[in-house]
Structure 1
């Protein structure tokens, strides 16, 4: 797959404005929660198939509240469904944005690393490393292999 290199800059002002926009988004969603991995795994998930089921269940409960126990909070269910439906397009938009930022960051990081490798190889090969020996050696530490520690031998009786 061929792609053109990313050639762009992000000014400090633009970066600050973007971070402020993210802060504003968080402020507009004060009810957001942070689940642990265990909590996330334990929760039943509402996917595309479940959305129709939940919608139908809400309609049934709304039209026939008499069979529900008094402890069932129909209004809370309605709020949960409405909030989910309101958050869903935000989730899609933010997921797409995150994928674009991830891909762009990966691409420009790769471009920067490839350029750094060229600089390192040119500096090593030039023979004119006077004054650069320490820097080239320091850069070379990136590729140094760590020695494997020998396994302790079990004592024999």
Structure 2
């Protein structure tokens, strides 16, 4: 069996990562607003395509304030635009971290599950050959073994 990953962290490294993640949350959460699913669907979405328009329009609010409606706060528009840009920067880093963690989980999980399947098949074969102790192990593992169901069995 090929082993592509052997990922371990010391207790100190784990504590350091947890401390940094907790620090990030401690800074961000008091300043954030939690959106529910309907909020996320209903609000206008800023994206790469709308950012230049937004920057240009807010720039015009600065240079041509006569056209800005009174109910629009230029100060808040600047704060929101800067928060978006900063958030996107943080999101890029966070997505890199998430990808690294996902890859660790996918590959480590795959290798652990593969080793377990090889052992399970071997103990099953040993149980069929009446090797002492194999049947008990096989039956215990068989209770926990998740088989992929086929479409025919669902129908």
Which band: TM-score by shorter chain?
Answer: 0.7 to 0.9
Aligned to 1:133: 135
Unmatched segments (≥5 aa) in structure 2? 150-155
Unmatched segments (≥5 aa) in structure 1? 147-157
CA displacement 1:74-126 (0-9 Å, x = unmatched): 10001001111112111111012101211220111010000001111122223
CA distance change for structure 1 residues 143 and 89 in 2, over 3 Å: closer, same or farther?
Answer: closer
Contact conserved, 2:61 with 2:68, CA < 8 A, in 1? yes
Higher helix residue share = 2
Q: TM-score, normalised by structure 2?
A: 0.83
Q: TM-score, normalised by structure 1?
A: 0.82
Q: CA deviation at 1:73?
A: 0.8
Aligned to 1:149: none
Aligned to 1:11: 10
Aligned length: 144
- Structure 1 residues 1-157: aligned runs within 5 Å: 5-29=4-28, 30-126=30-126, 127=129, 129-141=131-143, 142-143=145-146
Q: CA deviation at 1:144?
A: 6.5
Q: What RMSD, in angstroms, separates the aligned Cα atoms of the two structures?
A: 2.1
